[in-house]
Structure 1
C-alpha cells in the first residue's frame, strides 16, 4: 500500500473528488497529509473517503456533532490550570490521522530503539556514569537539570528497568519522521488515545474495518502484565524474601482532580483494573508503602506514577509538596516497591539532549538511530553556543530545563523570537537555553463546520506522540497508534493548554489484526493469585457520598414534582399542606431564604422555585446535588460501569439543558424576566426522575456486593432515613396530616401511594399511614425497615485500623423492635397531634447526622474520637 500513490477518481461526484473540492490548501513548506504535490488525494485518504461515501457538509456536521455529544456524555475533560471555572471539554477532531504501513514500520523500530537507549542512559547515569566520564553527555546538562534525582544515585530498580513506558513526539516532513521530544517522566496520552479510538471508530466503523486499522488494547495488556510481574523483594515477618509476583497490589498515583489530565488517570485505573490513589492515600511504615484503606493498611507493591518527579517525596525532594508520599524514595531503595517510571528520568526530556543522542547510541548500543531528531544546540557548551548564535534569528529558543512559574513561554508555543530580545539573555545564562532548527509540521485534514451548511476541510499542524511499553524482558512493544495533537487554527504551536485539539490515530495494515490475546505475551510466569481492588479511605468517602447524593437527588426531585403539582391544584391544597411545602422547600434550598411563603404568594413562590432549578450556579437544591453527585462519582469512576457513569453525567447535563430551555430569563428573544414554560419544567423533572431511577438500579444491581457496594448502600440508607423522617416530622408539626391533600402529599414523598391504596383501600387514617410508612418491614421506604437494613450492613463493615476499642457501628443504633409501637405512635394528645411520632422522627434524623459524623471520623479521616456507647 504505497503511501505516495493515488487512486483513480471516477467522475466529478466521486467521494475523492468531492473531498478535493472541499479541502483548503495547506501553507507553503508544510507536508500535506491529505494530498500529493499534484493535488490528487493520497491513497489512504482516497480509500477513507470512498468508504465514507456521503461527504456533503450536512452529513459531516452531523458526525462532528455526534463526536462532541459523545465526549460530553462520556465526561472526557482536559483541565487547564489557568481556567478558574469548570473543566474544559476534550477537543477531538472528526477525521483520524492516517499512518501508512510502511511509515509505521520505521516508527515502530525507531521508537523501540529509543526506549531501549533511554533506559540504558538511565542505568548509566544512576550507575557507573561512563557517559559523563567520556564526555558523551555534559555533566552540567545532567546535574543542572531539576529532573536529575541525586538521592537515587546507585539505585537499582526491580528487574533493572528504570522505564516501563516512554513517549516520543514525532513530526512528519517530506524527509520522513523526526523526533522532536521525549516524554520519560510521566508520559501522558495513552488513555486519551484509547478514548479517541472508541469514539472515532464508532463514527467510521466501515472505514475502520475496510482499512484494517491496527488495535490498541494489546499495549495496555502488556503494560499491566509488566507491572504485575514486578520482581520485588518483599519484607516479611521472617525477613526479606522474594515476592512471587502473585496478587501484587498495584495503584495509580495521581496528583488529584485538579490535574490537567485527571480524566486519563481515572480512565487508565479503570481500564487496567487498578486502584486510583493520591499521595494522602499512601503512607510509609518501616520502608514499606501502605494504602490507607477502609479496613486498615494494605501493602502496596507497584505504583504507576502520574505525579511529577519533584513532588513524589517531600522528605528528600520538594519539601513543600503536599501531594507526595513521605518516605517513598527510601522504600524504593529498600526494594519494597516498584515505581513506574522511576523518578529521575526528567533530564531525558530536555531538548538539549537531542544533539548528544547519536553518539550515545553508538557507545551504548553500537547502533545508528533509526529516527533522527530535530537539530539542536545546547548553549551551555561554548562551541555549540557560538554556532547557535549565528543562526539565532532563524531558530527556536527552547528552555533547557522545565519552565518555572512566571517565566515566559519559549519555543514553538510562541513561534520564532526576535534576535535582539534573546541574545543578552542567552549570554547571561547560556545553559538555560537550547536552540532548535525550524521544523515545519505536516498538516492533516480536519472538518471545519459552518452554520450555513458550507463547511470545509481545513488543515492543522499536527504532531504524533507514540508510546513504547516495556515487556519485562528487556524488549519494548510500541502501541500501534498514538496520540495526535493539532495546533489551534492559524498557528504552528501544538499545545493542548493553548487551545489545541486531538485526533484518533489509525495505523493501517495490509493484514488483518486477528484476535486480541487474552494476556500479553511476555514469557513471564503467569500470576497464580489475585487481589480484590482495595477501597482507599478517600474512595470509601466518595462511595458513601455517592450513595447519599443519589438518594438526596431522588427525594428532592420527587419533592419538587409534588410541590409544583400541589400548587397547580391549589384549590384543593389547605394551609397546613402549603405550610409543609414552604418548610420543606426552605429546608432543601429549593427557594431563596427571602422567598414569600406559599400562603402569601403562590406565584412568587413558584417563580423562585423554577429560577433556582434553572440556576447552574445554585449552591443548594437539585443543581447542587447533581453536581456533588457527579464530583463524588468522578473520584470513584474506576469502580463504575460505563453506563452508570454516563447516566450520572446525563442526569446533570440533560437537566441543565432542559431547564435552560424551560426558563426564559429577561434579555432572551421573546422572554421576560421570570418567565418559564411550566410543562417543560415538569417534563425536565420527570425525565430526571427516570434517570435517577436508572442510577439507583446501577448502584443496586451493577456493583459487586463488596465493601464498595456496602458503602453506597449505607450512604443511601442514612440519607433515606434522615430525609423520610424529616418529611413525616414536618407533615405532623405543620398540621398537614390533618387534611387529605397533606396525607396524599406524604404518601407521594415516600413513593408509597400505590402500595397504600392496594393495602388500605379507601382509608385515610393515621394508623394505616403509620403501618406502611413506619412499621412495614417490606416497604423499601418504611422507617423501621430502613433502620434494620442499615444496621445489618453496618455490622458487615470491617473494624478498621482505629476501631479495635470502638463500639461496633451497628450497636450505635437501636433495633426497630426497641422503638415505639403502633399504639404509642398513633396516640394523639389533647390537641389531636401525634407528638410521639414527631419526636421519633426528630430522634431518627439526629441519629443519622451523628452516625454520619462517626463513620467519617472512624473510616475516612481516622480521627481519634472517644468510643461511643450510643447516639442520643
Structure 2
C-alpha cells in the first residue's frame, strides 16, 4: 500500500494560493474559456508520486502521464466554475460546522470521560463512472455469493476441508470459528446479509480486493452522513452528473430481512450495539434512526423459552431479527466469551432453535482473515464454477511451507498482516521497513509462520483533497457493501465508504487518524429515487405504530430528567449562596445556618468546610472549589457530566439541538471552573458568571425537553425523573428552612422564595406580605405555580397514571405519594407540616425504587430458566 502524494509542480503562485485561503478575497477573473475551471483546478493540484494511480487525472502518475483531468473530474469542476473553486474554503468550513452540529463522531477506545473525536470528511467525493462501477458491482455480488457458500460448507459438510481447498488450521484453528454453529441451517440458506469488500485501485486502473468484512461491517451509517453532508455542498454537480441514490438499497435490505424471517412483514427487527463507548456508536444510533429500528444493547434483551425478548415499558416484546454490531465472540457469555457483558445469555440457543435471526449469522470471522484471499480463486471454481470477476491482491499464508519459503524471499515487496486479527491488528509494509526491522520481522515469521500472511504491495491510488487553497493527493481505499434483498440474493449499494490515509501514511484507517469521503457512482440509466418512507398503502398503519421504548432507554431518559433537575437545583443553590455571602443579608444567624446545612447536604461543600458564621471567605472558597466535575457525586460539575453521559446513552432519541446544548453546558462549565481553580483567589463574581451561564443553558435544555420531544412513554419517564428530583429537593430544602428558623426573618423568607424560583409569583400575588400562610399557599398549595409542591405532586401523579400497565401498576405507584387534593392551608399551618415534608422526601426514594423494579429491571416479573 502506497505513500501519500509528494509536493506537486503544477500550482498557482504563492500569492494566489494565499488569496484562495481567504474567503473574503475572490480569485482573479478567469479568461472567457470553457476549459477555464479545469485549468484552474489543474493549476492548484499537487502532482502524485510516480507509481500511483492519479484519480484526478485518470491515469498512472509518471513523467509521460495524463496532463488533463479525468472526464468525470472535468465535468465536476465545470459545474463548479471558477467562482465555485474560490468558494471551496467556505464549503470546507461548512462541512466541519455541520459535522460538529450533527454530533458526528468516531470514538477510538473511548471511556466514559473521554471526548469523542469528530468524524472527518473531505470535501471532494470519489467519483466512479458507470462503466467502471458495473465491473465492481458484478465482482462484489459474486463475492457475496461465494462467501455465503463458504460459510454454508464450513458449518455444514466441510467438503472444502476434506478436499484440501482450505487448510483446517485456517478454519478450525481460527479463534472466531464457532463450533456452536455446526449443523445450523439459517433461514433461506442465507448466512451473510451484509458483506463489505475493501477495494484498492491499482496503478493499472484495475480494482482489487484487499479484504472482506462479514461479522459486523462498519460504514453503512457513516456513508449516509457523508452523502448528505457533501451532497449539500455541490447540489448542481450532484444532480447534473447523475449520481445514483442510496435509499433503495437500504429499503431492499429491510425487505430482505423480513422476507427471511418466519414472521414476514410483521417481523420485529432491532439493531444490537455494544453501547455508547464503542468507537462507531454514532453510526449505530444514526442507522437505527434511519431504518426506523430500536437501538438495543445486550442488557435490553432476555431469552425466555429459547426466544429473544426486548424489555420494554410494556413488558417483554418478542424480537425476530437482530442486526448485530458487535463481534461474534461477545454475543453470548454462556457459550462464547464468558466475561462478555455486551451479549445476551442464551442467545446462541435461540439462534439454533430458529427463533431469532442474526444478521450476519455468527461464525464468519474466518472469512475476514487475509489468508483466506489466497484460496478463493480455486474455491470459486469449485463452488460456483466461475473465475473471480474481481482479483484479490496476491496473498500467501505462511502456515504452508511452500508459501513461507516464497514469502520470505518477497518480504521486501509485501505487506505483512496477522492471520488471526483477534491476536493482533498490526500491519507492516515491507518497502518502508529499515533493514533491522526487516530482519526482526523475518525472524518472527520463522518462529510462528501460521500467524502471518503476506500480501503483495500495491501503491494505493491517490484521491484529490482540498487543503487550504490546494488540491492535495491522499492514498484512498473504497469499502463497497452487498446487501441481502431476499434468500441468497444480494444487491450492491451504489456508493461506499471512502477511507483516506493521513498525510504521509500508506494505510487508510480511521483508527490511525484517517479521513473519509463520499462516493459518487454515476449511472447511465434512471436515478432511483426510492426512499425509506413507507409505501402509500402502508403509510397509515406505519403512522399508527407506537415507538417501542426499551427499558434501558426509559431508565436513561428517567435519569436524564433527574440529572437535568438535579443540576438545575444545585446551580440554583450555589448561585443563591454566593450572592447572599457577598451581600448585606448576613445579619441572620438562622439564614447562615440554613445555607450552610443545605450546601453540605447537597454536596456543594464538604462536611468539614468552615462555618460561614466564623469564616465567610473560607466557606466561599470551599464552595467554588467544589463546583467542578471531580469534586464528588453531588457537585454541579458532576451533575452536568452525568447529564451528558445519560444523553449519550439515548442519543438516537434526542434532537441535535438538545444534544448540542447538553454537550455545550458540560464543556463550558468544566472549562470555566478550571480557570477559576487556576486563580488562587477563587473570584466569587467569576464563579457567579459561570453559574449564570450554565443556568441559562439549562433553561434552554429544559425548554427543549418540554416543548420539542414527543409525549411518548420515554418522555413520560424523563418528566417523572424531573418531578421526583424537584419534589425531593424542594421538600427537603423547605424542611431545613423550617428547622433552622430562617423563615422568621425577611432575608430568610426571600431566600427560600428564590430557591423555589417563586419570588415574582409570590410578590405579584401577595406584594409585601411576609406571613406563613401566604408562603405556604405559593410554595405548597398553589396549583398554578409549577414550583409548588402541590403542582409537582399533581403532575407526577398524572404522569404515573399514563404509564404502561397503569391500571395494574399506576394506582399502586400513586399510593406511595401524598394526595395534594387532601391539603388545606388550615391543616398545613399545624405542626404536621414538617413531617409531611419528610414524608415527601421518603416517598420519592420509594417511588424511584419501585419504578426501577417494575419498568427497568423487571424484577417484579418471574424469570423463566434458559433451559426450560
TM-score bin (small chain): 0.7 to 0.9
In the TM superposition, what is the alpha-carbon distance from 1:542 to its structure 2 partner? 0.8
The answer to whether residue 553 in structure 2 is matched with residue 547 in structure 1 is no
Q: Which residue of 2 aligns with 1:854?
A: 850
Q: How does 1:109-124 map to 2 (within 5 A)?
A: 109-124=138-153
Deviations 1:611-643 (A, max 9, x none): 555667775433222221121122222223333
CA contact (8 A) 2:641 2:666 kept: yes
Deviations 1:48-85 (A, max 9, x none): 45555688999655544444444343333323238795
Q: How does 1:165-564 map to 2 (within 5 A)?
A: 165-175=194-204, 176-232=206-262, 243=263, 245-404=264-423, 407=424, 409-412=426-429, 416=433, 418-448=437-467, 456-509=470-523, 513=527, 515-518=529-532, 532-564=546-578
Out of 718, 727, 731, the residue aligned to residue 721 of structure 1 is 727
In the TM superposition, what is the alpha-carbon distance from 1:340 to its structure 2 partner? 0.7
Distance 2:666 2:527 in 1: 39
Which region of structure 1 is more displaced relative to structure 2, 24-33 or 771-780? 24-33
Distance 1:79 1:507 in 2: 29
Q: How does 1:9-24 map to 2 (within 5 A)?
A: 10=31, 16-17=38-39, 19-24=41-46
Deviations 1:119-149 (A, max 9, x none): 2222233233333344333333222222322
Q: Secondary structure at the match of 2:244?
A: coil
In the TM superposition, what is the alpha-carbon distance from 1:548 to its structure 2 partner? 0.8
The answer to whether residue 800 in structure 2 is matched with residue 794 in structure 1 is yes
Deviations 1:539-574 (A, max 9, x none): 222121111112222333333444454455446885
Q: Which residue of 2 aligns with 1:238?
A: none
Distance 1:426 1:325 in 2: 38
Q: How does 1:569-588 map to 2 (within 5 A)?
A: 569-570=583-584, 574-588=588-602
Structure-2 change in CA distance of 1:654 and 1:226 (3 Å): farther
Which ranges of structure 2 fall in alignment gaps of 5 or more residues? 1-9, 11-29, 59-64, 863-868
Q: Which residue of 2 aligns with 1:764?
A: 770
In the TM superposition, what is the alpha-carbon distance from 1:864 to its structure 2 partner? 6.5
Deviations 1:17-52 (A, max 9, x none): 554454433333222333454454444445545555
Structure-2 change in CA distance of 1:562 and 1:228 (3 Å): farther
Deviations 1:424-479 (A, max 9, x none): 44344433221110011122233445xxxxx6443332211111211114332222
Distance 2:101 2:457 in 1: 40
Q: How does 1:723-762 map to 2 (within 5 A)?
A: 723-762=729-768
Distance 2:240 2:476 in 1: 25
Which region of structure 1 is more displaced relative to structure 2, 589-598 or 786-795? 589-598
Q: How does 1:667-686 map to 2 (within 5 A)?
A: 673-674=680-681, 678=685, 685-686=691-692
Q: Which residue of 1 aligns with 2:19?
A: none
In the TM superposition, what is the alpha-carbon distance from 1:718 to its structure 2 partner? 0.5
Distance 1:408 1:166 in 2: 20
Q: Secondary structure at the match of 2:326?
A: coil
Distance 2:155 2:272 in 1: 23
Q: Which residue of 2 aligns with 1:237?
A: none
CA contact (8 A) 2:816 2:846 kept: no
Distance 1:82 1:632 in 2: 16
The answer to whether residue 101 in structure 2 is matched with residue 73 in structure 1 is yes
Which region of structure 1 is more displaced relative to structure 2, 86-95 or 650-659? 650-659
CA contact (8 A) 1:248 1:530 kept: no
In the TM superposition, what is the alpha-carbon distance from 1:188 to its structure 2 partner? 1.0
Which region of structure 1 is more displaced relative to structure 2, 327-336 or 851-860? 851-860
Distance 2:67 2:627 in 1: 55
- Give the alignment's TM-score, normalised by structure 2: 0.85
Which ranges of structure 1 fall in alignment gaps of 5 or more residues? 1-5, 233-242, 450-454, 667-671, 828-834, 867-872
The answer to whether residue 55 in structure 2 is matched with residue 33 in structure 1 is yes
* Number of aligned positions between the proteins: 823
Q: Which residue of 1 aligns with 2:24?
A: none
In the TM superposition, what is the alpha-carbon distance from 1:351 to its structure 2 partner? 0.9
CA contact (8 A) 1:249 1:531 kept: no
Which region of structure 1 is more displaced relative to structure 2, 336-345 or 288-297? 288-297
In the TM superposition, what is the alpha-carbon distance from 1:847 to its structure 2 partner? 1.9
CA contact (8 A) 1:247 1:527 kept: no
The answer to whether residue 637 in structure 2 is matched with residue 637 in structure 1 is no
Distance 2:87 2:207 in 1: 34
The answer to whether residue 101 in structure 2 is matched with residue 101 in structure 1 is no
Distance 1:367 1:149 in 2: 29
Distance 2:684 2:810 in 1: 54
In the TM superposition, what is the alpha-carbon distance from 1:396 to its structure 2 partner? 1.7
Q: Secondary structure at the match of 1:698?
A: helix
Distance 1:676 1:62 in 2: 40
CA contact (8 A) 1:756 1:772 kept: yes
The answer to whether residue 836 in structure 2 is matched with residue 840 in structure 1 is yes
In the TM superposition, what is the alpha-carbon distance from 1:15 to its structure 2 partner? 5.4
The answer to whether residue 177 in structure 2 is matched with residue 158 in structure 1 is no
Distance 1:308 1:586 in 2: 47
Distance 1:126 1:529 in 2: 42
Distance 2:861 2:557 in 1: 22
In the TM superposition, what is the alpha-carbon distance from 1:842 to its structure 2 partner? 2.6
Q: Secondary structure at the match of 1:794?
A: helix
Structure-2 change in CA distance of 1:323 and 1:570 (3 Å): same
Q: How does 1:773-812 map to 2 (within 5 A)?
A: 773-798=779-804, 808-812=812-816
CA contact (8 A) 1:394 1:416 kept: no
Q: How does 1:594-609 map to 2 (within 5 A)?
A: 595-596=609-610, 598-600=612-614, 609=623
